[in-house]
Structure formats: C-alpha cells, structure tokens
Chains A and B, each alone.
Chain A
C-alpha cells in the first residue's frame, strides 16, 4: 500500500480490516511530513504525540472487536485558523502566537475524529485568511507540490500543498471568497465549499462572518464525501449553522448525472480567462454534455459587493489590533484592513441589500438548471511573488484578481465542488455550482467526471 498516495477510503478499509494498523499509518504520515514539509512548508505544527496516541487508541479498540468509523486511521490536518486543543490558533498571523492554547478542538475536528480519523497537524495559510496566494511573511510561503516555485493559492495554502503533496489524504480549510477553491485549482485537488451554514464553524478563527465557510480537501470525490458526511449536522455553538438533518452523500455517489440539467456559465465567466481555464471548462462541459449556457445575472456586481463586505467586516474584526499592534501585521494585509475601516457604512448596507436581490435571481435560475460549470481561477498557479498578470491585454494585480470567479458564488453561500483537471505543466480546477443544500448533486457530478477520467488529482513528479 503506497501511503503517500492512498485514499482515505483505502486507508480506512485497510485499518478496519486489520491489514494495516492505525499506528503504522500515522507513523508513515509523520515520516512523509518530515521528509517533504521542509520544501512545501505546508505544516506550522506537527502533532506527533497526539497522532500516535490517537492511533494507538484506535488499534486497541479494534483489537477489542470494537468497530471504528468510516475514517478509521485516516490522517488529516487542518488550516491553522481551526482550533486544535493545546496549541494557539494562529490564523496565519504573528499576533496570535501570543494567544493562549485552544482549550478544545473545533467541532469539525471532533466529528472527524469520532469517525476514526487521526489529526496530525495544523497547516499554513495567508495571514488572517485575507489572501489568495498562500504566501505568508511570518511563517514563510506555502509551496506548490507540482512546482515549488509556484503558489499554492490561498488562503488555505497549506491545505492544498499537504493534500496535493501526498502528506495527508484529507485536510480542512476555510473559504470566504475562494480560499478552498483557489488552492484546489492551483494544487490540482478536489475541494468542497458547502452551502453557507451547512458545516459548523464553531471554534475557528473568523474573517468575514457573513461569508465564512469551512470545508474539506481530498484527492478523490469519495474522500470528500466521506469527510463531508462525517462533519454534517447541527451545532448550536455556531449561530449560523443550519438546523437541518444530516443528508449523507456517499450512498448517492454512483447515481451518475442522468436527469441532471447541466449548463456552462456565460457572460462574466467567459471573460478574463487564460487558455488553460478555457480548456478546462470546455473539457468538463463536453464530458458532461453541457451544451447550454446560462447567464449569472450581475455576477460582476456580486463580486464587487463581496469585496466591500469583506473589506469592512474584516476591518471591524481587527480594528483593535490595527490600533495596538499594527507593526505586527503583514504590511499588505494591514493596509487593506485599514482602508476597509474607512469605507462608509452605507455602501456595506447597500451590498447586503444587493446580496438578497442577487440570491433571489440565482434561486430563480436554479429552477431551470441543476449544475453550473464555471472556471475556478483565471489561470494555473502563478510564480511565488508574482505581482501582476495580463488578462485580455490589461495588466492586473494577481492578489485581487485570482478570485474573480469564486467571489460571486460564495457571496450567497452556494455549494461548490472544485474538480481538478490534470493539465500540463500545472493543473487547474473548474467550479461545479448548485442550488443551496444540493451538495449531493455536485459530488455525484464530480464522481462522474472522475469515472470518465476527466477530473483527476494528478500526482506530482517529486
């Protein structure tokens, strides 16, 4: 069994059947992290003792004949804005290093471990999640396993690098404007940004309360579904978490795409693409038989409104720190947050009013279509440190424009699966978008693309 590229499903089956011990799996993951993290800089904390203790407990329980969960022995890691008991929740910052250690794991960690998974560490990210690059001035840059000179994308950069680099089969990240979907695209892995309110955010460091989501990364649709199913369910500790029944997706994965109305996003989403993004959308549209094009109304304005809400809510969150610890921020993040504090509140309320209007239009659109295909990023991963790229003949800043296709979607909390395509020399993903609460449709569609060989998490050369 190749532990550097085995799926979570394969590992859980091997551990549950006694072919591998959870301890040997955890040891292999820790060894792989030790061997590769120096280059990839995906981890900011490796939890040797905790992981081995947890694995030993699983092995002991299995030896007593007690079945473990569907993720038995599966190593996973979390973006370092998710609370891990015993270590400070950094959220990519220098400032939070002085915070006391978290007293309790985040709800999503508790749920994954209840399903048998084994937490092995915390992952690098852009400072306070205000980032699309995976670069970090305090903890050094996350590096792309397909070419370490290139960005992982952000802000969940370590999550992308750890899964694409074979350090863990499963990771958690957060997505406010694209921070799961962008690293999925640049690193060539599957990512799920669920419906806003579907998965608990309890005991994670916030960024923009109106737009924050948590979700999983994996190298297969099945692994995404396994993790997603284990994490679903109401949690009173997150006031946004919806009181909905658990709706397992795993049993539906093989249902295929029969009967689904699938279309490609036109207009705004056809502009500003590099050739690789055009090719990715074309390949997926062809494979899914999507001949129809739909217009997402006012997508550009939706992106603008998301930008305004992000700037201002982010600024409000950090206002005291901007007053008292301004020199301890990444200067690029600090200057954006200071500017956000100065935006007139009338514009923010207008943005929130527009948000409801836009949601109504999108819900109406979903009466005629089940899945919308759109690019995830305009291009494959830029070089680390690259400041600008040229789109349609116009030189634009990378940081502000990597998320142009993700922001109009997360703005109203629609569920999205980022499905990777193994283009050369670097992969890229497309977004599969559905109506609220229809993650099942998206994971079925991604599974069909995977079965056709169209969506694949490519294995890096090193």
Chain B
C-alpha cells in the first residue's frame, strides 16, 4: 500500500505550475519546510480577529 499523497506536496506542485516556477525534486524538502513554517505563522496572524473595517497598513503616497 502506498501512503496517500500529502496535500501540501500537491499544493506545491500546483502552485509551481501556475506560477511557471521550476522546482527541482531535490529542492522540494526545503521549499516544503519553508512553506510549512510560513503557513504556520500565517495561521497565527489569521486567528487574530479584526473587524471588517480594519484597514491594511502598506504605506502609499500618491
């Protein structure tokens, strides 16, 4: 029996294709590890409840 595919591996494959990025097989473990860390930290941010009216903070001056 083969293990079911990891959804994150499938996501990386699909994202690489949609972004037209070549990801060599030997790069995949590091790319995956980095993406996992970033998504974990993104989840910490996302869990914080803010009102719909909250403005994002990029600075732009016309």
Contact = CB atoms under 8 A, between A and B. Distances in A.
A63 interface: no
A443 B39 CA distance: 38
Q: Which of B15, B20, B22, B35 has the most CB of A within 10 A?
A: B35
Interface stretch (A140-148, A166-174, A333-341, A364-372): A333-341
Nearest to B53: A353
Interface in A286-318: 298, 300-301, 303-305, 307-308, 311
A355 B42 contact: no
A336 B34 contact: yes
Nearest to A355: B57
Contacts of A311: 34, 38
Contacts of A336: 34
Interface string A337-367: 0111111101101111111110100000000
Interface stretch (A248-256, A258-266, A319-327, A375-383): A319-327
Given A319-B19, A323-B21, A323-B22, A343 B42 contact: yes
A278 B62 CA distance: 45
A303 B61 CA distance: 25
A354 B56 CA distance: 7
B41 interface: yes
Contacts of A300: 44
Nearest to B40: A304
A308 B41 CA distance: 7
A339 B21 contact: no
B20 A323 contact: yes
Contacts of B42: 304, 308, 343-344, 347, 350-351
Contact of A301 (B15, B30, B38, B44): B44
B21 A354 contact: no
Contacts of B27: 331, 334-335, 338
Nearest to A241: B61
Nearest to A307: B41
Contacts of A335: 27, 30-31, 34
Interface in A67-95: none
A319 B19 CA distance: 9
Contact of B21 (A307, A331, A341, A359): A341
A240 B55 CA distance: 18
A235 to B, nearest CB: 13
Interface in B5-20: 11-12, 15-16, 19-20
Q: Which of B16, B27, B56 has the most CB of A within 10 A?
A: B56
A210 interface: yes
Contact of A342 (B12, B56, B58): B12
A337 to B, nearest CB: 9
A338 B41 contact: no
B21 A343 contact: no
A338 B27 CA distance: 10
A359 B23 CA distance: 37
A322 B19 CA distance: 10
Q: Which of A311, A335, A340 has the most CB of B within 10 A?
A: A335
A197 interface: yes
Interface of B: 11-12, 15-16, 19-23, 27, 30-32, 34-35, 37-39, 41-42, 44-46, 48, 50, 54-61
Given A332-B30, A350-B42, 13 more contacts: A303-B41, A307-B37, A307-B38, A336-B34, A339-B34, A342-B19, A346-B46, A350-B45, A355-B56, A356-B54, A356-B55, A400-B37, A412-B57
18 contacts: A197-B59, A210-B58, A305-B41, A308-B42, A323-B20, A323-B22, A335-B31, A338-B21, A338-B31, A339-B31, A341-B15, A342-B11, A343-B35, A347-B45, A352-B56, A353-B57, A354-B50, A412-B57
